[in-house]
Each structure stands twice: as C-alpha cells, then as structure tokens.
C-alpha cells in the first residue's frame, strides 16, 4: 500500500508543481484552452469546462491516418488500447483490462450504436470510422447523461459535416495480404440544405490462413436549417461485414513462434448487417435549447465462434431492432452563469436468438468441417429502458465551474422462450446439456449521481476534479443463454443462477490538469481511482469446462494518464500518449478460486503511443511520420502464474501532395517485423499480431 501511495503522491506533486509554474507565469499573448467537445452534455462546450478526461482524434487526423483498423488510431488517446480480434473486430481496454464485457458505451453522434441489452464489444466495426468526423473518448464512468455500460468510458464517433459547397473525394488503397479499399465521399449545399454521402468498400485475404473479410459501409447525412433558430440533422448509416472470424484466435506457443499463420478454426464465420437512422431536431434561443432525436436500429449477425469450438461448438443468429428517443431541454440563466439540463432517454429493443449445436471434425488441431446438431436456444427478448436525468452547472466565480447530475434508469427484459417445455428443462446433445428459463420478466432500477468542478488557474492552465457513480446491467446473453454443462440438473442450476445476476456498481474519483505553454506545447494529465463492486465474473467450471457467471467481489482500477503535443520546430511535432495503471482484485473469492490481491489478466500497466511527424515544404503539405507503440507486460491468467512480456512496435508513414488536390500516401506497420500477440491466455495460448504490412494509396479531392 505504501508503494502505491508513493506513486500517486509523486504524480499529484508533479501536477501541483505544474500548476504553480503556470500561475507564476503570465504571457500577454496567452490563449484560452478553447478546444470544443460534444460528448459531455450532448452539445458543444469548451473542454476547459468539462470535469472529465476527454481524448479527441479530429476528423482531419482520422482521414490523414488512413487507419485500416480502429486499433491503428485509437491508441493516440492516452490510456486506450484497442486490439484486433479478426477482420475489423476488436476488444477494448480503457481504465479496464482488455475485455469483451459490456463496460463501454459506444455512440455515433451521441446515440448508442446498440442498445444496452444487446451490447457487442465489436461495436466500432459497425461504424464507418475512416470517413467519420472524428472520435471523442470520455474516460471513466459516463456522466449523468449516459447510463448502463458507461463504466470504462464513452466512445463517441462523430459524423462528418456536409460541405458548404460542392466537393468530392476518392481514395484507393492496395496493401499486403490482398488488402484493397475504396473510399468515396462527396456533398453539396443548396439553400437551407446540405448533404454528404460516404461509401467504404474494403476487402482483404487476411495474413493468417482463412482469415479474409469484406466490408461495405455507407453514411448519408442531411442538414437542414429551419428558420432562424432551429435545425434538423438526419443521419443514415449501414454496414455489411462478411468475415472468417479467426483473425486473432489463439494458438499454442510453438506455433506462435514458428508458424503464426496457422489457423486452428478455419470453419469459423461472422456475417453482420447493421443499419441506423436518426433525425436530430434542435431549437435554440438565446437562453434555451430543445433537442429531440428519434432513432431506429436494425442489427443482425450470423456467428460460428472460434473461441468456443473446443468446449461448446455452436452456430447461431442474433437479431435486434430498436426504436428510441433522446430528448432534452436546456436552460441558461443568471446568476452565476447557471445551466440546467433535464432530459429523458427511451429505448425499446426487441430481439432474439436461434442457436444450434454443431458436430465438428478435426484433423490434428485444425477444425475442418461441421454438421448441424440440435436446436439448443430459440427465444425472443425485448429490452426496454426509460431513463430521466438532470444535469446542472454554475460558476460561483469566473474561474470556478461546478457541475452535478443525477440519472435514474428503469430497465427491463421480457423473455419469451420458443422451445418446448421438455427442452427448456434441459436439451441434451451428446455429453452436453443446455438449460433455459421458462418465459419470464426481469427488471433493474438504478440511480447514478455525479459531481465535478473545473478551475481556471489562468488563461493557460485549468484543472478539474470529479466523482462519478455508474453501473451496468447484465446483457441478454448473460441472463438467458446459460453455457453447456454435463447434466440437465447442472444446466438448470446455471440457468437459474444467471437470472440472479445483479448489476455491477462503480465509484470513480479523478483529478487532472490541462494546459498550454507559450511555445505551443499542450498537455492533459489525470489521476484516477475506480472501484467496481458486484462484478460479473465468468469462470470455467472445473468439472465441465463450462463458463459460469456470478457476481463476485471488488476490483480496483488506479492509474495516471498523460497526453502531450509539442511542436519542436516549425516542421517537426511530437505527440505522446502515456498511461500507467494497476487493475487488481481487492476481494474476490469464488467456489473454486481466490484471486484476492492478484492483478487482473490482460491488464498491462503501461500503454504508450509516441508519434513524431515531419512536414517539410517540399512535400507540399504532406509529411513523414514515425510512430512507436508500446504495451507493457501483463499476466495471462488471474492466478498470476504466466506473464506476457509486452511489445514495442514501429510504424512509418509518408504522404506527398502533387499540384492540385492529389495525394500519394504510403504506410508500413510493424516495420521491424516483430512477433507480438494481440491477446494471450495461459490456457489457450497466443493470438498473434500481424507481421510487417505495407499500404500504398492515392487520393484526389475535387472542389
């Protein structure tokens, strides 16, 4: 405990030294910290008045990066690790270990990409990120404006605005392992209307055996001015993804070192169809804002999962349709520059699952074929959430800004089992049994408060402190899809236990500083401590190898994050994103293990991204860039017996602008061809990351 206090005390002292240094220095040309973000209150506000750590990648940075996967851009935000699970699939670590659990809220223009009940950890592949208007990451529990799932952070992808005049752009890329991508975008403004349309066509063979995928995504945004004080924004998006899912499936150490292209699960597959449509109406006066945003979603997925072939081979379809409304009313009034926001979120999401067991055939370690077995799950479930909230801000002094909020979530599941009664009691298939609940309803309610403050020490430095409470309700899969076991009785016991799962609760404390030096160096530093209670732990039963979910004890998540952007010279710039964190079990005892005092698996203490860019005049607006990606060591199991040593990768990129708007660009990722793992597991092995990879492309813009 003393060592931990020393580390955090040293960081706090560093923050104080920075604050005093800034307070003692005042330059006549000092500029306000006027970066604008929208995620905190669902509308534009100065970052300097947001009591939270918000990382931002602008639309210009997104398009300049030419990222082939979210993992190639999200690491520029301090404390964010996004890996590759296959195709454009991913897992995420933001103030949490790398996980597939629903502990993040993924949004597009403030609207959840999926409903709480039907969370998908691959949510970013359902968003057209390469052609977006940027992304904001609010780290830690979401504000009172966001409910269940917003524990580790809120990831809000912003749509790109339509142009003010006619323009079009097209980008074509080729790369290693059959990589091909075409990005087309264009739009125009006419009268009170402006429109932009984007199209993303991607195809690759994958660098490992049988790991190819195709992606077709599109976005259409229509903005309309309604009189002098109102606007309408209509956004329609779709994504179709067809992939073999074993892109980063684990293999044994010998194959990882000597034959990493091998794929034990070439029969695995994933087919995704996702569509969203929203219409955001805003009416703003000098002191009020009314915002009403109805939306619809339609998601479907066919999946033969690679990770469960060894213990529970199945193929299934999930579907989810949603109708919802985000509504809020904001009032500004004196004294103290007071702001009050009241609102309500409504989400009605019916969905379902049909799942069949499969009989698999293997040749050595490789699964070569499968045949359909019994129908083991067939149900409909409707998630519904009604969530009123209130958010307030005031400034007792010019320098001090206080914020507070409270959200009430009323969430329910209406489950309807389509299997006959005998099957519900236990469906047998070989040595496996599946138990399900009869048709039932379940309900969760929760209050989530937040308190925060920002303080402007001077024009170049401000600080913040905040307390947030958040929660996460179990998803439909955790509640109504119990895992396979060896007897009908065990199956029913697991099914009954799932229905008893409680929400996870989280309390988070955070403080930070953000500022800018005269030389143009800007930074943001933060310190956080978060405690999770009643976490849902999924472990494998020692007798059946079946996953069993229970509410466990407490976990602690503590860390520091630092982001720095420094123009070294007129043509040279350094950007650093660094975090140091420790994720541990504070009290965690199950029926077959005691992890109390252990560090959590897949939780590196160090995550860092360092980028040096050089923009000489002879490139006519292009640049050279070198990026170092560092991931510290971490435990491969919760018992802390096996460790992955971490890795360091080097990426290079270059671009050149010809006369006019033609750009030639090239990239090479993992320049040194380093063998590294996207994720690891002490039992199943290593999921290898891609080797040295080249990309070459050309882009043209017409205006």
pTM of the model: 0.92
pLDDT at 13 over 70: no
Rounded CA separation 383/410 (Å): 11
Strands 153-157, 104-108: pairing is parallel
Q: Which of 175-179, 342-346, 357-361 has the lowest mean pLDDT?
A: 357-361
Give pLDDT tens digits for 598-638. 999 999 999 999 999 999 999 998 999 999 999 999 999 98
Return the percentage of the chain with pLDDT > 70, whole number. Answer: 90
For residue 646, give the CATH number of its domain.
2.40.170.20
Residue 587 pLDDT grade (very low, low, confident, very high; cuts 50, 70, 90): confident
Which pLDDT score, from 0 to 100, does residue 611 have? 97
Our measurement of the distance from residue 119's CA atom to the centroid of its chain's CA atoms, rounded to an integer in Å, reads 11
Please choose, from the candidates 620, 489, 584, the residue with its C-alpha nearest in 3D space to the C-alpha of residue 544. Answer: 489
Contact, 623 vs 654, CB < 8 A?
yes
* Residue 174 to residues 181, 207, 603, 681, Cα–Cα distance (Å): 7, 14, 34, 33
Q: Count H helices and E strands in the chain, helices first.
A: 7, 39
Which pLDDT score, from 0 to 100, does residue 534 have? 87
Total number of domains in the chain = 1
Tell me: cis bond preceding 335? Omega within 30 of 0 counts: yes
Which pLDDT score, from 0 to 100, does residue 31 have? 39
Give pLDDT tens digits for 569-584. 889 999 999 999 999 9
Instruction: Find the domain containing 454 and state its range.
Output: 2-702
> Can you tell me the mean pLDDT for 525-533?
95
pLDDT at 537 over 80: no
pLDDT at 562 over 80: yes
Half-sphere exposure of 232 (CA within 13 A, CB side): 10
pLDDT at 62 over 70: yes
Half-sphere exposure of 116 (CA within 13 A, CB side): 28
Please choose, from the candidates 466, 536, 383, 396, the residue with its C-alpha nearest in 3D space to the C-alpha of residue 144. Answer: 466
Q: 3-state class of 618 per DSSP?
A: helix
pLDDT at 19 over 70: no
pLDDT at 489 over 80: no
Tallying the residues shown for the chain, one arrives at 703
Contact, 383 vs 117, CB < 8 A?
yes
Give pLDDT tens digits for 133-175. 999 999 998 767 787 878 899 999 999 999 999 999 999 999 9
Q: Which residues 6+ apart lie within 8 Å of 603 measured at CB? A: 93, 96, 97, 98, 581, 582, 583, 634, 635
Give pLDDT tens digits for 494-528. 777 778 888 889 999 999 999 998 778 999 999 99
Which pLDDT score, from 0 to 100, does residue 88 have? 83
Place of tokens 């509504």: 327
Average pLDDT, the chain: 88
Which phi and psi (to 5°) does residue 492 adopt? -70, -35
């Amino acid at each position: 405990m003393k060592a931990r206090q020393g580390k955090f005390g040293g960081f706090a002292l560093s923050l104080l030294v920075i604050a005093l240094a800034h307070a003692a220095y005042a330059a006549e040309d000092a500029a306000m910290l006027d970066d604008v973000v929208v995620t905190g209150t669902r509308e534009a506000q100065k970052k300097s008045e947001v009591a939270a750590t918000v990382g931002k990648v602008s639309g210009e940075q997104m398009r300049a990066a030419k990222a082939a996967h979210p993992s190639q851009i999200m690491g520029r935000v301090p404390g964010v690790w996004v890996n590759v699970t296959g195709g454009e699939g991913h897992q995420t670590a933001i103030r949490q270990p790398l996980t597939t659990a629903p502990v993040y809220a993924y949004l597009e223009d403030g609207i959840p990409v999926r409903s709480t009940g039907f969370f998908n950890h691959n949510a970013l592949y359902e968003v057209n990120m390469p052609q977006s208007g940027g992304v904001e990451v609010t780290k830690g529990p979401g504000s009172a404006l966001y409910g269940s799932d917003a524990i580790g952070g809120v990831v809000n992808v912003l749509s790109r605005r339509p142009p003010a005049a006619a323009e079009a752009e097209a980008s074509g890329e080729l790369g290693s392992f059959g990589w091909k991508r075409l990005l087309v975008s264009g739009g125009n403004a006419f009268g009170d209307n402006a429109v932009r349309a984007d199209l993303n066509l991607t195809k690759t063979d994958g660098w490992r055996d049988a790991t190819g995928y195709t992606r077709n995504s599109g976005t259409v945004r229509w903005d309309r001015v309604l009189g002098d004080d109102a606007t309408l924004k209509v956004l329609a998006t779709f994504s179709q993804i067809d992939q073999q899912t074993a892109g980063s499936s684990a293999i044994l150490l010998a194959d990882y070192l000597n034959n990493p292209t091998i794929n034990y699960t070439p029969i695995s597959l994933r087919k995704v169809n996702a569509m969203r449509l929203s219409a955001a109406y805003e009416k703003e006066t000098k002191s009020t804002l009314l915002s009403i945003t109805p939306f619809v979603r339609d998601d479907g997925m066919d999946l033969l999962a690679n990770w469960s072939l060894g213990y529970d081979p199945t193929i299934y379809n999930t579907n989810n349709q949603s109708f919802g409304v985000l509504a809020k009313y904001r009032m500004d009034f004196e004294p103290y520059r007071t702001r009050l926001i009241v609102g309500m979120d409504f989400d009605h999401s019916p969905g379902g699952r049909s799942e069949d067991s499969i009989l698999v055939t293997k040749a050595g370690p490789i699964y070569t074929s499968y045949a359909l077995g019994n129908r083991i799950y067939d149900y409909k479930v409707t998630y519904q959430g009604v969530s009123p909230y209130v958010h307030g801000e005031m400034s007792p002094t010019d320098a001090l800004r206080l914020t507070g909020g409270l959200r009430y979530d009323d969430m329910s599941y209406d489950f309807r089992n389509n299997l006959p009664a005998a099957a519900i009691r236990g469906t047998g298939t070989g040595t496996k049994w599946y138990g399900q609940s009869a048709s039932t309803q379940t309900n969760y309610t929760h209050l989530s408060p937040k308190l925060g403050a920002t303080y402007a020490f001077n024009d170049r430095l401000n600080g913040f402190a905040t307390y947030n409470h958040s929660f996460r309700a179990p998803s439909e899969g955790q509640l109504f899809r119990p895992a396979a076991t060896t007897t009908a009785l065990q199956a029913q016991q697991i099914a009954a236990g799932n229905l008893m799962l409680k929400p996870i609760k989280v309390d988070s404390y955070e403080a930070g500083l953000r500022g800018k030096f005269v030389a143009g160096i800007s930074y943001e530093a933060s310190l956080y401590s978060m405690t999770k209670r009643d976490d849902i732990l999924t472990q494998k039963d020692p007798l059946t190898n079946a996953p069993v979910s229970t509410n466990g004890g407490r976990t602690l998540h503590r860390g520091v994050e630092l982001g720095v952007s420094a123009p070294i010279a007129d043509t040279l710039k350094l950007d650093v994103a660094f975090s140091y964190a420790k994720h541990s079990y504070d009290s965690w005892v199950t029926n077959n293990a005691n992890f109390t005092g252990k560090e959590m698996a897949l939780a590196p203490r160090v995550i860092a991204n360092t980028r040096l860019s050089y923009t000489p005049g002879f490139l006519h607006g292009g640049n050279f860039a070198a990026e170092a990606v560092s991931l510290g060591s971490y435990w491969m199991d919760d018992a802390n017996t096996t460790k992955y040593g971490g890795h360091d990768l080097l990426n290079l990129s270059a671009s050149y602008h010809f006369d006019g708007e033609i750009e030639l660009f090239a990239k090479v990722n993992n320049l040194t061809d380093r063998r590294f793992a996207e994720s690891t597991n002490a039992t199943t092995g290593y999921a290898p990351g891609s080797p040295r990879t080249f990309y070459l492309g050309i882009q043209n813009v017409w205006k």
